[in-house]
Amino acid sequence: MDNKEKILESALDLFYSKGYDAVGVQEIVERSGITKPTLYHYFGSKYGLLEHLVRNYYGKFEEKLEAASVYDGDLPLTLYRFVNTYFSEVLKNKKFYCLFMSMMYAGKESDMYRVVRPYALRQLKMASDLFCRAGDIIGNMNGRHEQYAVTFIGVLNHYLLWWMSQEGKAKEFISGERAFAVVHQFLYGIYV
């Protein structure tokens, strides 16, 4: 693992366990086994490190979600693929997901919120575009694709946050069967 990866991994561990504001640059470099000038060389600042960390981890997540959200004329199947991908990617990196969620609920003027906001908006747009494309088959949409997207992403995130609170049950809750159940529950009010 190179120095840049060590820094990112250490920062993720520390930001996840203590929170971004509670962690100083000195603690990150000590955990990484590198010097401050090395951190500053790669990221410029602690804020730059946070930006890079989110871009790096979320970029991979977003790429997979985009592929899963390609609408093929079957809304339930597309949503199932989306949820299954969402769950699978979260399961691969629970620390980043928890950090991302905490950042979404941070104060509007905080560094954390400023970094995560564009990513959260892109995720919402991805879901909104999916519902918009499916609008021709959903009789009661009437321009409410963004409302459905907010509700859908909210259901996924709150389900996952609840699951995260259930110690030691990761594989039980995050499965293809569970993804199907979540999609069915969501669609019951708008489609079925």
Q: Burial letters for 111-141: b for 16+ Cβ neighbours within 10 Å, e otherwise? A: bbebbbeebbeebbebbbebbbbbbeebeeb
Q: Which token pair is 158?
A: 């709150």
pTM score over 0.75: yes
pLDDT tens-digit profile, the chain (192 residues): 799 999 999 999 999 999 999 999 999 999 999 999 999 999 999 999 999 999 999 999 999 999 999 998 898 899 999 999 999 898 889 999 999 999 999 999 999 999 999 999 999 999 999 988 887 666 666 678 888 899 999 989 988 888 877 766 555 666 677 788 888 888 876 654
Phi-psi category of 133—alpha, beta or left, where left has phi over 0 and alpha has psi -120 to 50? Answer: alpha
Q: Which residue has the tokens 């959903």?
A: 138
Tally of CB atoms within 10 A around 40: 15
Angle at 136 between CA 134 and CA 137, to 5 degrees: 75
